[in-house]
Structure 1
Amino acid sequence: MPTGIIESLDHEARGITRRDGKTIFVDAALPGEEVEYASFRQKSRYELAHLVQVLRASPARVTPKCPHFGVCGGCAMQHMEAGAQLAAKQRVLEDSLWHIGRVRPAQILPPVQGPSWGYRHRARLGVRKLAAQDTMLIGFHEWRSSYIADIRECHVMPPPVSALLMPLRALLGGLSIAERLPQIEVAVGERCTALVLRILQKLSKQDEAALRAFADQHQVVFYLQPKGPETAERFYPLPGPPLTYVLPEFDLEFAFRPTDFTQVNHAMNRVLLRRAVQLLDPQPGERIADMFCGLGNFTLPIARRGAQVLGVEGSSALLERAREAARQHGLDGQVKFVGANLFACSESWLAGLGAFDKMLIDPPREGALELCKALGHQAAQRLVYVSCNPATLARDAGVLCALKGYRLQAAGVINMFAHTAHVESIALFERA
């Protein structure tokens, strides 16, 4: 069986070694280790392999806390010490910026680390009834598989949510629609926890009674979702506190629906906002654009600093909630929201919004290529880019620096998803 020395990690946290001119990606191997591996997929230029045995371990290797690590695909880095995880993610960011965008930041921002356990306030869990075993599976998908992992605890979710996994199995397994219930979405707020059941068939009266009893016993709120995310409606209990998250530094509280996009890690979201606002440095009287503004997560904190802010978002539902949050906090005189598809914007459309002193961009994984291309000669002097995908950030950074006259002043990682390969980052660009 072949052996190799692991050089580094790739963007999926796989170890990289080489043999006979081919790159070998080895699951669960760490840089500096000598490992024995077995390939399960072979191509002309690379191979994918499982780790068979660690012959010489890295000092960064630790014992995973979760007994399901290696089977459950929810985490990829629990076997790696927390500081080493951050260093690996910083390297992924820097490598992406250079190899894809051909840019290097003038300054590397110190990486930010937060809670490593119990941080995941949002999760989408698969559900599957195994009739032959007379059991119900609830969990993330298995590593590199469409099968649902047989998990009984989850340490990256808050302990009260992890404690619900086994009771939920019993509850859902006893419903008449157990085989027509493929998914549960979990959303944890400040004052309640919501469970959204994706149902492909109507509940019976007995099912409804069972859900009510479970909600009363475990102090959760059930939502039912018969079709797309917009169809999710509160089922029980109907009265009660809404889902919210708070930003104490800015004296803000945002209400959201359980299927809305919000950051999964509330503590790190606060840190991310602090760093973004520091880098943007909004001043009273400035006009600032918040692109892909969503619920106003960045819009309202920027307005708290006295700036006039325009939030632009493609989802009308999110814009409605952003406007309501601005009204509730007395900021509707400082913020304005516009609906637009930022994946198809043009230079003339963007110019029609007027001049901005500064701009914040927080796109989804697809990045903001068309927006970056649309920036004209009156573009903002300072631009802060928050990214959940270092590859698209690097691509867009290449456009900003090579074609739009910006310099990449600083960049760094925010460890929003501890123990996963997900790299959240922030970058500061300024006009040359």
Structure 2
Amino acid sequence: MKGVIEELDWDGMGILRTGGREVYVPFTAPGDVVEVIKWRRKKRKLIAIDFEVVKPSPERTEPRCPHFGTCGGCALQHIPYGSQIAFKETKLSNILGIAVKVRPSPVIYGHRNRIDVVISAKGTGFRRRGMWWDAVDIDECPIFGGISKKVLKSLREFIEDHRPSLYEIKKNEGFLRYIVVREGKFTGELMVNLVTSKGTLPEDFPAYFDYADSIYWSVNRTKSDVSYGEIEKSWKSEFIKEKLNDVVYLVHPNSFFQTNSYAAIMLLEEVSKRIDGEKVLDLYSGVGTFGVYLAKRGLKTEGVEVNPFAVEMAKRNVELNGVDAVFRVGMDRDVGNLSTYDTVVLDPPRSGLHPKLIRKILKDKPESIVYVSCNPRTLAGNLQYLSEKYSLDSAVGIDMFPHTPHVETVAKLTLKV
């Protein structure tokens, strides 16, 4: 099967239409002439698994990472960054039904402040695209930055010296499973978290990472392929710090923080300028990323979050920044009367808002809503229900995830008169 890639689908794969079929070809660009040798069916789609780019498109650019095309992390490094932004603007505009601009990330390599590196018998790096049991061996990650090379070198020295067993996911055997690296891009502080199965860690492990500000050993006692566990031991600082504009945040191994610090500043600014009034509810508040930032600007902020540890982190961030804000543990749909707030900030998981919360919003009718979403499809679905009583005033995309098809959206909703 041979033909020209006409366009990208919303997941960033090239679409080849020929012989009455549509085949989705990863790592291709519009204008590529490709020959597909083998494909497989997945979720009613034909996905190319063996193909060749016979004639490259003039739209292509040279990927910076030598592992692009095998690593499952990036999908669009071969697309010029300006074209990536145009692709995301078209995607958001089509899904939301209005024209949406996307603000580019100020930094497009070295922007990620966290990477979760697989340690396995197959290699030390990232999962091979489409193969959950395999891994691509890497020396560094250009998306994270130069310090990744130093950390991975130290890890390999530790493995060489001590010969610990490496995890085999199919057998659920082996000791070393992940190393998670986090960096404060504006503070330069570094955290290393080694995730293992149950066992004994050599006592000199921290010495291999003496340049890190915070070192953790976590144990995953389950079969689940996750990069976190129960904290077994730590060395040096309990947290690292990140600074976004004038707000400092504590970062812990088991807490979520926006993965692109540079674009996170734009996200905070876009949310801040859409706030009406003075009293704000930060729902799905996490570690207080939005709530503390808004409180720093003199707004009366209350945050609600289901995760008790995240709430504890938010309270610490309040204390660290000397702001007046209250955070508490609670379910998204069990909050009080939403009409008592001037603006409700929503930052739900990818699955979107719970139906009960949507019904509560429509019943309580707060004047203003700022909806932050990492999934434009669920955002569009939620907006359709909310349109019964709310108008979509504006929406902007923030490119938190360069070289991937993902994009963050900030939408402003106002109660209809």
Scaled by the length of structure 1, what TM-score is found?
0.85
> Aligned pair 1:290/2:282, yes or no?
yes
| Residue 263 of structure 2 corresponds to residue 276 of structure 1 | no
Establish whether residue 327 from structure 1 lines up as the match of residue 314 from structure 2: no
The counterpart of 1:165, out of the listed 143, 152, 165, is 152
Aligned to 2:393: 409
- Give the deviation of 1:379 after TM superposition: 2.2
CA apart distance, 1:241: 7.4
Q: Which residue of 2 aligns with 1:363?
A: 348
Alpha-carbon contact 1:126-1:182 (below 8 Å) kept = yes
The unaligned stretches of length 5 or more in structure 1 are 98-103, 131-136
2:46 counterpart residue number? 47
Equivalent residue number for residue 220 of structure 2: 227
Distance of aligned partners of 1:66 and 1:303 in 2 relative to their CA distance in 1, 3 Å threshold: same
> What per-residue deviation string (whole Å, max 9, x for no partner) do you get for residues 356-390 of structure 1?
11111111212123322321343222211111112
| Superimposed CA distance per residue, residues 83-124 of structure 1 (whole angstroms, 9 cap, x where no aligned partner) | 111111222222333xxxxxx23x523433321101111111
State the alpha-carbon separation in 2 of the partners of residues 191 and 241 from structure 1.
16
1:418 equivalent among 402, 405, 410 = 402
Which moves more between the two structures, 152-161 or 195-204? 195-204
* Code of the aligned partner of 2:208: F
Give 1:261 deviation, angstroms: 0.4
Secondary structure of 1:365 counterpart:
coil
User: For 1:38 and 1:319, how far apart are their aligned partners in 2?
Assistant: 52
Paired with 2:302 and 2:346, the residues of 1 have a C-alpha distance of: 12
Q: Look up the SS of the partner of 1:96 in the other structure.
A: helix
Supply the AA of the counterpart residue of 2:352. G
Cα contact 1:28–1:51 (8 A) shared by 2: no
The answer to whether residue 301 in structure 2 is matched with residue 312 in structure 1 is: no
Specify the code of the residue in structure 1 equivalent to 2:107.
P
Equivalence for 1:187: 182
**1:178 aligned partner:** 165
Alignment of 1:207-222 (within 5 A): 207-209=202-204, 211-216=205-210, 218-219=211-212, 221-222=214-215
**CA distance, structure 2, for counterparts of residue 374 and residue 38 of structure 1:** 52
**Distance of 2:239 and 2:100 partners within structure 1:** 39
Alpha-carbon distance change, 382 to 406 in structure 1, aligned in 2, over 3 angstroms: same
CA distance in 2, matches of 1:410, 1:139: 40
Provide the C-alpha distance between the structure 2 equivalents of 1:142 and 1:44, rounded to a whole number of angstroms. 20
Residues 311 and 44 of structure 1: CA distance in aligned 2, closer, same or farther (over 3 Å): closer
Q: CA deviation at 1:198?
A: 1.2
Find the counterpart in structure 2 of residue 138 from structure 1: 124
Query: Structure 2 CA distance, aligned partners of 1:177 and 1:350?
Result: 49
For 1:101, the equivalent position in structure 2 comes to none
Q: Which has the higher contact order (CA 8 A, sep 6+)?
A: 1
Q: Corresponding residue for 1:61?
A: 60
Higher strand share: 2
Deviation at residue 325 of structure 1 after TM alignment: 1.7
* Deviation by residue 1:232-291 (Cα, 9 ceiling, x = unmatched): 25523x3x473111122xx221112122100111111111111111122x44xx221111
SS in structure 2 opposite 1:413? strand
Gaps of 5+ in 2: 167-174, 222-227
Rounded to whole Å, the distance in 1 between the matches of 2:11 and 2:17 is: 17
* Counterpart residue identity of residue 150, structure 2: A
**What is the SS of the residue equivalent to 1:182?**
strand
Deviation at 1:173, TM superposition (A): 4.3
Partner SS state of residue 116, structure 2: strand
Which of 107, 124, 133 pairs up with 2:116?
124
Q: Is the 2:247–2:296 contact (alpha carbons within 8 Å) kept by the matching residues of 1? A: no
Instruction: Report the 3-state secondary structure (helix = DSSP H, G, I; strand = E; otherwise coil) of the residue aligned with 2:103.
Output: coil
**SS of match in other structure, 2:319:** helix
Match of 1:156 in 2: 143
* CA pair 151-244 structure 1, distance change in 2 beyond 3 A: same
The answer on whether the counterparts of 1:35 and 1:51 sit within 8 Å (CA) in structure 2 is: no
Q: 1:275 to 1:112 in 2, by over 3 A?
A: farther
1:134: which partner in 2? none
Quote how far apart the aligned CAs of 1:393 are: 1.2
SS in 2 for 1:92: helix
Tell me the residue number matched to 1:389.
Answer: 375
Q: Deviations over 1:149-196 (max 9, x none)?
A: 111221101211233223312313443533311111111132531111
Whole-Å separation in 1 of the counterparts to 2:45 and 2:311: 45
What is the aligned residue count? 398
Question: Contact 1:23 / 1:45 at 8 angstroms: preserved in 2?
Answer: no
Asked whether the equivalents of residues 196 and 232 of structure 1 are also in contact (C-alpha less than 8 Å), the reply is no
Find the counterpart in structure 1 of residue 75 from structure 2: 76
Q: Work out the CA distance in 2 between the residues paired with 1:379 and 1:320.
A: 30
Question: Contact 1:35–1:53 (CA<8 Å) still a contact in 2?
Answer: yes
Q: 2:128 aligns to what SS in structure 1?
A: coil
Pair 379,310 (structure 1): closer, same or farther in 2 beyond 3 Å: farther
- How far off is 1:354 after superposition? 5.4
The 3 A distance-change label for structure 1 pair 44 and 22 is farther
CA RMSD of aligned residues (A): 2.3
Query: For the residues of structure 2 that align with 1:152 and 1:257, how far apart are their CA atoms?
Result: 25
For residue 273 of structure 2, give the secondary structure of its aligned residue in structure 1. helix
CA contact (8 A) 1:116 1:156 kept: yes
Corresponding residue of 1:260: 255
- 201 and 290 in structure 1: CA distance in 2 versus 1, 3 angstrom threshold: same
Contact persistence 1:6–1:31 (CA under 8 A): yes
Residues 327-363 of structure 1: per-residue CA shift (max 9 Å, x gap) = 332323xx22221222xx2xxx444465211111111
- In 2, distance between residues paired with 1:45 and 1:295? 39
Matching residue's letter, 1:8? E
Using a 3 Å threshold, how does the CA distance of structure 1 residues 376 and 350 change in structure 2: closer, same or farther?
farther
| Partner Cα separation in structure 2 for residue 46 and residue 313 of structure 1 | 37
- 1:122–1:188 contact (8 Å) kept in structure 2: yes
2:224 aligns with none
Q: 3-state SS of the aligned residue for 2:47?
A: strand
